[in-house]
Structure 1
Amino acid sequence: MPEGVAFPESQQDIAKLVLWARENGKSITARGAGTSLAGQTTGGGIVMDVGRNMNQIIEIDESEQFAYVQPGVIRDTLNREAGKYNLLFGPDTATTNRCMIGGMIGNNSCGIFSIKHKTTREHILEIDAVLSDGSRATFKPLSETELAAKMELDTLEGHIYREIIALVREHRDQILENYPHPEIIRRNTGYALDRLCEMQPFNPDGRKFNMAELLCGSEGTLAMTTSAKLNLVPRDSESIILVPHFSTIRKALEATVEIVKEDPAAVELVDDIILNATKGNIEQRENRFFLDGDPKAILIVQFDGDDADTLQQKAEKLSKNLQEMKLSEATPIITNEHKMERVWNLRKAGLGLLMGLGSEGRTPTFAEDTAVRVPDLPDYIDDFQKILDKHETNCVFYAHASVGELHLRPVINLQKPEEIEKMKTMAGEIADLVRSYRGSLSGEHGDGRARAPYIEKVLGAEMMPLLKKVKQIWDPNGIFNPGKITDSKPMEQDLRYSPSYKKPNVDTHFNWRKEEGFADAVELCNGAGVCRKLSESGGTMCPSYMATKEEKDSTRGRANLFRQLFSGKQKEAFQSKELKDALGLCLSCKACKSECPANVDMAKMKAEFTQGWHKEHGISLGERFFGQAAKLYPLASLFPTFTNWIMRQPVTKELLQQFLGIDIRRDLPTFANKTFMDWWDKNHANLTRPTSNPDVGQESRQEVVLLIDIFTNYHEPEIGKAAVRFLESQGYRVIVPDFHEVGRPQISKGMLTHAKKILDTNLPRLANFADRGMPIIGLEPSEILTLRDEYLDLCDEDQVHSAQKVANASHTFEEFSADLLADSPVSTKDKKVFVHGHCHAKSLIGNSAIRKALEDAGYEVEVWDTGCCGMAGSFGYEVSHYEVSMDIGKQRLFPALKHLPEDALVCVPGFSCRHQIKDGVNVQTFHPAKLLAETLI
């Protein structure tokens, strides 16, 4: 547990922090996104987070092709800016939408394209740093004269140069003999003394001496990076991907040996365990389009260049060769840029998916990052398998195969003492195996806590005094990230999951069936940090973090609190003010349910916690107002004109803010002069119900159930009327039940006992419709999708069968319409429609249905990636959330709406989304039902 957290704003702040830590005997652990895998960014003392404030791109020089950045700059943010000059920073980790340059330097990150771009070390030109005495230094290539001048300095910097030069000069032969083979691009075991051996003055033909290469991969144990000058490279104009499929891992690795001879930009191995995990991930399921059957393994191979025809010929030739060698059974070739991006998104999700495989994904990464020469890969894997067989465990295989790096994760149950002993034994045997191949124990993810105890086995006992000497030269008081690389604790200490870990054991209202219990749901988050991506990286998760940049407002931050509190306090955690505050800005958008690789459903966890909080503290008046609005609506709708007038009076708004917490800057939705049900009861029996098929009789037409939610009924009845008109034009007889609630507001407000009562009333009626083969259609996405999501977990065991039938029969209006229009699309596309999708729909079913329905109805459609609107039901109305709500809208949605063509139509299926747009930019929007009904004219 850290003693404190610092958020420096400048190099001067870091220098002050270092001096304070030195004087007070505290350590400093530098941290950006905190996604390192071997424990590098965990430690006591002070955690120094550079991501919040030191995140500026200081300069990009197009002609000299370099960037000068602060350490908190996110890699994708840099490349978006560099891309304006057709340049990029080459290292491409799986975490590029949140990993920061400082962390990439600390870990010497590489990524998918390391055979082409190598490692961060090859792209670092200069590093500005604060040393352990608070002094500042710039490390860059030095001529012999400049190096001599540095060694004359009467400062810590001068001492470092003198001592490091002397150490390397004395032990150069020993270092080169014991370090990993120089053909291995990814070698991050220990400090990079072997890289210094390649430089002048030790190698007259080598490159200039540059201590920045030693700092790369040093894991923040030697100095604090305050800025860096990075090499940028031109972007290739053309790329092509082929994906050979294999029946065995060995065949895939044998193929890799042949493929690297063809100068690929990337060769990535993914095994069937990860591929199977993508089937259960809502977002990645869509990215499986290129797979042919269920291969044991695939390689994702990319070629880059400037001539598309040449690349196509190269890909086809390789595909043919692999089949002739009887290595690959199928080799799809992909040239579409968007589809290639989807292939890589699936690959990048691999680690997070793997870490989300329940308890089997919690193995510490003790053997996860080994690297050997590419020709050694097939035999190395066979030897590794022998270790697995000996210990009766299995392993996930995925890899940067092009450079001999394998991410191998043996399955270990850390909550059993005998399994921890097995892990320690295996770690030693694997280190011995790596040594026998002259490989690297860490290829890119670093030594940290997990692998540092085994460096000695890989580099040899004679190297350990040298590594400790390096640490002592740079940081004699040991204040920088102690216990990493050198002087590490045994790997079994400080484990997140261990025999002493107590699983949460509390009574819940949801059954948590998919997760196999609340305890497993609480443990799902693996810390991958995808929820920390910025708005400009796309997607929706996590909208509150995108607005505040606060860790506590990320899915990971909240999940960490859930785990810590419930595993410690058990049922008393329902009274936690800390957790309630952390959940305060959760919009329950459900984006984490699909975009998080582990499918953490924070909206559901929030509902469960809030129900427990209410049990202890009661339900506030504001929560009751929004959670049980249906009880007030009938009265308010009796005199709609008066209700609407009174709600807009300043004195009323003051009272609403004071007693219900409704922000005075918001206008509550207006009530319609006549509800939908008033119109329905008066007109439905006499409707002519025109049909597109005159041969279909009134009574013989199929019946469909149209659920009219309270928002449609009381506020926007025209949407319901449009839906009826459209459905009946397609030959359906519409049935409208006389209830409007399914429990969505109650679930969102954590009023689960109320929601369960609604479920108990609704489920038999809905199941009756499903039994009769009647589709159940909803106009408000969050309402109808509640039947397919929460109902399946809120129901009792004896209700599961009925709930599943209802879920199977339920459709959003867009889904049902897309199926209807599939056989009779309209070809004319003379109107452009821009779509902002509903968060729940994007998370649970995606945007394909709304796109297809509108396109088949004759519209030209563009689906925006505008994230969350920021309203999220009642969230944006509440005074404590208004600013964050508007900040979220201002990120992507509002700017998109301000630059529309004059005749453009904006389609927004969500009620609260439409009202956020009205408040934010006052642009008219349409529900899909109204746009589809327009095509009938």
Structure 2
Amino acid sequence: MTALRDDLTTRAAYVSDASIYRRLPAAVAEPRSVEEIRELLATARENGWPVISRGGGTSVAGNAIGDGLVIDTSRYFNRILEIDPHARTATIEPGVICDQLRDAASEFGLTYGPDPSTHSRATVGGMVANNACGSHSVAWGTSAQNLVSLTVMLADGREVTLDAGGTSDAALDSQLTQLRDRHLAMLRTELGQFPRQVSGYGLHYLLSENGFDVAKAFAGTEGTCGIITRLTVKLVAKPPFTALAVLGFTDAIAAATAAPKFRVRGVTTIEGMGSDLLDALRTRPGQENAGRELPEGGGWLYCEVGADTQEAAFEAARALPGLVEETVVDSVVVGDPAEARALWRIREAGAGIVTRLPDGGEAWPGWEDSAVPPQHLGAYLKDLYALLDEMDLRGIPFGHFGEGCVHIRISFDFNTDEGVAHYRRFIERAAELVHRYGGSVSGEHGDGRARSELLSTIYSDEARGAFARFKRIFDPDNFFNPGVVVDPEPLDRGIRPGPGARTFELTPVHAFSADDGSFGQAINRCVGVGACRSDSGAMCPSFHATHDEVHSTRGRMRSLAEMLRGEHITDGWKSKETYEALDLCLSCKACATECPVNVDMATYKAEFLHHHFRQGLSSFVGKDRRPMAHLTMGWMPWLMKLVTRVPGSLRAVNFLERFRPIEELTKKLGGIEPKRRMIRFNDTPLTSWFKTRTPQGAVARGGGRAASSAEKPSVVLWPDTFTNFSADGPGKAAVAVLEAMGYRVLMPMGNVCCGLTWHSTGQLDMTRRTLLQTLDVMEPLLEAGYPIIGLEPSCTVMLQHDITELLPDDPRAHKVRALTVTLGEFSARHAEDGGDWPFDTLETHAGPGTAVCQVHCHEKAQGDFTPELRVLEKLGVDTAVVGGGCCGLAGNWGFEPGHHEISQTLGERNLFPAIRAAGPGSIVLADGFSCRTQIAQGTDAEGVHLAQVMYAALRAEK
């Protein structure tokens, strides 16, 4: 029997999906087998709980949440059972991820046709339950149309098989036949009228002309009729070659009007967007020039064409503008995959930002995916824009124009009762509008709690009565997902960000400048699209290791939101549930970039920890004291400075820790993970070495007055704690490299520190105090405007980003942010500006230089490693960047007790295998001290810093 998870930590993580709704489940279960699902249904019946099926939880309609037992099949019930390339089918368990199936099918030149935007984390079972579609549905159809058969479990534990021709249960067949025969006219005139008519149940598939296909009729029932335990789906052949035509029109309405004309043979996508989407994209950092590759116009269609040869695909794409000669303004046709990918990125990046308005305001689903017959889309879209204007709402429509489906998130105000009432008025009027055009309130995401109430607007009493009868046939006791489709809940009940969502508020330490200074508004950023559940990319490491919703970025955001609500998590900042949810967050900052709404969990965790542990003496003693690791690791800069006041102390520490009993005792006293090895220290701090070295360097003592007046441009090398006390090799190499390039190197000798270790452990008062002291020391150097070169990526990012969030009103903090660069960025700029380049092409004993490179997670998230790659290329080093994200150590996190197993799992995900697979003599490049420590403790390799690689090339020349 699978264990029920009824702890509040888990339940809070499952309180919502990607919708605006909130329901706290009674329990969550993650079954591994059909038998465990049967036992779970029996348990739910005994406890009087309804049952809610859940896959990736990416539904925007609120159909994957409820107050009963949530059965999540995504974690364990996710095997691909068989792929039959001859029949072009796959038999799978419901928790299989769409991309997982597509990758497996690609071995045979096949793919799974439906491809919603959440394909990297949506389960196929959930896609079938919602009848999901995607951008290629114009060619390959909906999930229902790609379904061969289903096995479903009913409330009494029976499994029945559904397919074309009926079911494995004669009594069910008889009832379904009676239902069909009673409503023949309605089924033929109200349902199945256009491809994206997803609302309600697909009962038209029961018609004899549709093969009495009960499996397809069951698709789109949104978990209201039974639990899918197995399914067989169609696979389709991918076109060997594709070309992309992007056509420009005067505006989005003109593009929508033209879209149906491209529904011709060979066209596999007809995606649309308008200039408002492009304008929104250009408000994002680094996207100011986005869209330059697009043809002229104010609205665009993306039409992909497939063919057997590249020439045929390109010629077919070139012919498309001729279909709309009278309205097309301009067009671009590309056959090269890289050029097509660049164009698609504009469309996908634009779609990703609509969860947040251009001015940073909140935008919500609710009227997320309405659809009309494609020939009416232009007129419908025009009226939708007019309705938004009339009701003083904002949103940016885009979507599957070739199939008449429009996606939009709207600036609803859910903070007040009046705002919620305004939301209802808009939704009701929008439903009337879509009905006038013969449309559907849902075009691919299902009805859920968002739109089930609206079925009375678009369907007759007879149709809704047939829906109710269909549900009773499969689920006579309303056991499965009540309140959805049949006997619907009110669409404005239980809105997650609604009134009462922030009964507990605070004045945060961070400025939260992108969220009007509000921690609560920052938490509202998470709309739940679940990008953090994807196995691709760097986000979210702990989810990659555990596949536990609690340990996804979304799960943590839900816990924080419940904490602020104060309804079930009632002890606010002292919440042990939220502390547990945040415990496995590595503070890698990947979410700050990869999340579509730039959730920054590292900052939220630091803010939470600051308030969770009482400040002052109680932070060190008593029941509310911090973990010892927070003190030993967080206060490391201060402890190191204290120790070095005794000459030779660091050398003595290194000597003593060579004896394992002493090392083990040190770890025990310091609250360090027992399986970790202690780090070693420099014999003397880097700053002490620099102070006494040969005169070619200049010392900036007491805040910046240089001891030398040599007429060379000056730079400041930042003596971060890790380089200064534990790994001075990169620091010494950087000094030599910068001097060889013609610079006078300065190093502040006062007490400077970025405060990173205090920040990552949530000791924000000390972080701010340390930064203020640092700014005092650095003031003369800042006034001189010298570049500040950082070697440790995490510290560099702290100076480039976090410092102004912690000291927003201090102009010196903004100056530090502007002046701080990485060594790679500084060196690349130096070379591109024609500066001296005293380096030879680097070779190893294995031949031309090759490197395996682990980019530090903070630099990957909030920096730019491309300058480093340009430097390495100039040095003749062929660099392979390790995929994935964090190395798994993550500073203090990897040294905290209980984290070692996951730390090693993450190292084995990408980093360790890449190092083992590297050729002999390859350089292992890792600028981060944590990354080099993880490499040393997890492999036989030794990581080096870019500065050391540059120094090796410099010495080779000499």
TM-score by length of 2: 0.89
| Further displaced range: 358-367 or 837-846 | 358-367
- 1:373 to 2:373 alignment: yes
> Aligned match of 2:813 in 800, 803, 807?
803
Aligned partner of 1:778 among 790, 793, 810: 790
Aligned residue in 2 for 1:716: 727
Note if contact 1:65-1:231 (Cα within 8 Å) is conserved in structure 2: yes
Are 1:49 and 2:72 counterparts? yes
Give the gaps of 5 or more residues in structure 2.
Answer: 1-23, 616-623, 700-707, 843-847
Alignment partner, residue 84 of structure 2: 61
Q: CA deviation at 1:484?
A: 0.6
- Pick the aligned partner of 1:736 from 740, 743, 747: 747
Q: 1:84 aligns with which of 107, 121, 131?
A: 107
* Cα 1:294/1:414, change in 2 over 3 Å: farther
Q: For residue 178 of structure 1, what is the aligned residue in structure 2? A: 190
The 8 Å contact of residues 113 and 236 in structure 2, kept in 1 or not, is answered as: yes
Q: Distance in 1 between matches of 2:81 and 2:333?
A: 40
Separation (CA, whole Å) in 2 of partners of 1:275 and 1:454: 32
Kept after mapping to 1: 8 A contact 2:523/2:560: yes
2:578 matches 1:579: yes
Q: Which moved more, 1:626-635 or 1:120-129?
A: 626-635
Pairing 1:818-857 to 2, within 5 Å after superposition: 818-823=828-833, 830-857=848-875
Judge which range, 117-126 or 383-392, deviates more.
383-392
Answer whether contact 1:127 1:139 (CA < 8 A) is retained: yes
Alignment partner, residue 15 of structure 2: none
Q: SS of the counterpart of 1:395?
A: coil
The worse-fitting range, judged by mean Cα deviation, of 807-816 and 674-683 is 674-683
Deviations 1:309-340 (A, max 9, x none): 22233334445776x645334x4445453554
Alignment correspondent of 2:631? 624
User: Aligned residue for 1:315?
Assistant: 317
Shift of 1:365: 3.3
Amino acid at match of 1:819: R
Q: In structure 1, the residue corresponding to 2:151 is in which secondary structure?
A: strand
Tell me what 2:170 maps to: 158
Alignment-derived partner of residue 151 in structure 2 = 128
Relative distance call for 1:686 and 1:665 in structure 2 (3 A) is: same
Q: What is the letter of the counterpart of residue 51 of structure 2? A: I
Confirm or deny that 1:524 pairs with 2:531.
Answer: no
Tell whether the 8 Å contact from 1:363 to 1:414 is kept in structure 2 after alignment. no
* Shift in CA distance, 72/648, structure 1 to aligned 2, threshold 3 Å: farther
Higher mean alpha-carbon deviation, 10-19 vs 101-110, is at 10-19
Structural mapping, 1:299-378, within 5 Å: 299-318=301-320, 325=326, 327-329=328-330, 331-338=331-338, 340-341=340-341, 343-344=343-344, 347-348=347-348, 352-357=352-357, 365-378=365-378
Q: Distance in 2 between matches of 1:410 and 1:925?
A: 49
Asked if 2 retains the 8 angstrom alpha-carbon contact of 1:180 and 1:440, the reply is: no
Aligned pairs for 1:213-228 (under 5 A) are 213-228=216-231
Other-structure match for 1:604? 603
Q: Return the offset for 1:454.
A: 0.9
Partner of 1:540: 538
User: Distance in 1 between the 2:175 and 2:789 partners?
Assistant: 75
Partner of 2:215: 212
Aligned to 1:706: 717
The DSSP-based 3-state class of the residue aligned with 2:613 is helix
Contact map agreement 1:176 1:194 (CA 8 A) in 2? yes
Give the secondary-structure state (helix, strand or coil) at the position aligned to 1:901: coil
- Say what the alpha-carbon RMSD is for the aligned residues: 2.7
Alpha carbons 2:131, 2:144 under 8 Å: kept? yes
State the Cα distance separating 1:873 from its structure 2 match: 0.6
- Name the amino acid aligned to 2:231: A
Greater mean alpha carbon deviation, residues 104-113 or residues 841-850? 841-850
Judged with a 3 Å threshold, the aligned counterparts in structure 2 of structure 1 residues 291 and 504 are, in CA distance, closer, same or farther, namely farther
Residue 266 (structure 1) aligned to one of 232, 251, 269: 269
Contact 2:151 2:229 in 1 (8 A): yes
- What is residue 554 of structure 2 aligned with on the other side? 556
Partners of 2:563 and 2:570 within 8 A in 1:
no
Conservation of the 8 A alpha-carbon contact between 2:510 and 2:805 = yes
Q: Which residue of 2 aligns with 1:119?
A: 142
- Post-superposition shift, 1:19? 3.1
Tell whether the 8 Å contact from 2:192 to 2:202 is kept in structure 1 after alignment. no
In structure 2, C-alpha distance between the alignment counterparts of 1:230 and 1:286, rounded to whole Å: 43
Contact 2:80 2:91 in 1 (8 A): yes
Q: Deviations over 1:346-399 (max 9, x none)?
A: 544555522244998756533221112222111121222332333233332011
CA distance in 1, matches of 2:564, 2:378: 45
Q: Does 1:256 align with 2:267?
A: no
- Gapped regions of structure 1 (runs ≥ 5): 690-696
Distance 2:830 2:648 in 1: 37
Deviates most, 335-344 or 881-890: 335-344
Contact in 2 for aligned 1:252/1:298 (Cα 8 Å): yes
Letter in 2 for 1:542: C
Q: Alignment partner of 2:629: what SS? A: helix
Number of positions where the alignment pairs a residue of Structure 1 with one of Structure 2: 902
Shift of 1:279: 4.3
What is the match of residue 922 of structure 1? 940
SS in structure 1 at match of 2:722: helix
Q: What is the DSSP-based 3-state SS (H/G/I as helix, E as strand, rest coil) of the residue aligned with 1:565? A: helix
Deviation at 1:875, TM superposition (A): 1.4
How far residue 783 of structure 1 moved from its aligned partner, in angstroms, is 0.5
Given the superposition, is the C-alpha separation of residues 375 and 479 from structure 1 closer, same or farther in structure 2, using an over 3 Å criterion?
Answer: same
Q: Which deviates the most, 590-599 or 244-253?
A: 244-253
Post-superposition CA distance 1:178-202 (Å, at most 9, x none) = 2252xx21221111012222xxxx2
- Decide whether aligned partners of structure 1 residues 269 and 846 sit closer, same or farther in structure 2, where only a CA change above 3 A counts: farther
2:310, 2:540 → 1: CA distance?
38
In 2, the alpha carbon distance for the partners of 1:511 and 1:89 equals: 46
Which of 22, 25, 28 is 1:5 aligned to? 28
Which deviations, in whole Å up to 9, do the C-alpha atoms of 1:95-149 show, x marking residues without a partner? 111110110110111111111111111221111111122111111223xxxx5xx
**Are 2:841 and 2:953, in contact at CA under 8 Å, matched by a contact in 1?**
no
AA at the equivalent of 2:856:
H
**Where do residues 438-587 of structure 1 align in structure 2 (5 Å cutoff)?**
438-502=438-502, 504-517=504-517, 518-534=519-535, 537=536, 539-568=537-566, 572-587=571-586
Name 1:233's counterpart in structure 2.
236
Hey, what's the Cα distance between the residues in 2 that align with 1:359 and 1:51? 36
Instruction: Indicate the larger mover: 346-355 or 659-668.
Output: 346-355
Preserved CA contact (<8 Å) 2:28 2:70: yes
Distance 1:664 1:20 in 2: 40
Residue 243 of structure 1 aligns with an amino acid whose one-letter code is V
Residue 846 and residue 77 in structure 1: after superposition, are their counterparts in 2 closer, same or farther (change >3 A)? farther
Query: Please, which moves more after superposition, 711-720 or 108-117?
Result: 711-720
Q: Is the 8 A contact 2:243 2:334 kept in 1?
A: yes
2:220 & 2:673 partners in 1: Cα distance? 50
Counterparts in 2 of 1:609-758, with a 5 A limit? Answer: 609-615=608-614, 617-634=624-641, 635=643, 638-686=648-696, 699-738=710-749, 739-758=751-770
Measure, in 2, the Cα distance between the counterparts of 1:95 and 1:736: 49
* Distance in 1 between residues matched to 2:546 and 2:358, nearest whole Å: 30
CA gap 1:379/1:262 in 2 versus in 1, 3 angstroms:
farther
CA gap of 1:688–1:566, structure 2 versus 1, over 3 A, is closer
* Structure-2 change in CA distance of 1:932 and 1:325 (3 Å): farther
Task: Give the superposition deviation at 1:764.
Answer: 4.0
Q: Which residue of 2 aligns with 1:694?
A: none
CA change 1:699–1:335 in 2 (3 A) is farther
Give the letter aligned to residue 522 of structure 2: A
* Matched-pair contact (CA < 8 Å) for 1:831–1:904: yes
CA distance in 2, matches of 1:325, 1:375: 17
Q: How far apart, CA to CA, are the structure 2 residues paired with 1:116 and 1:413?
A: 38
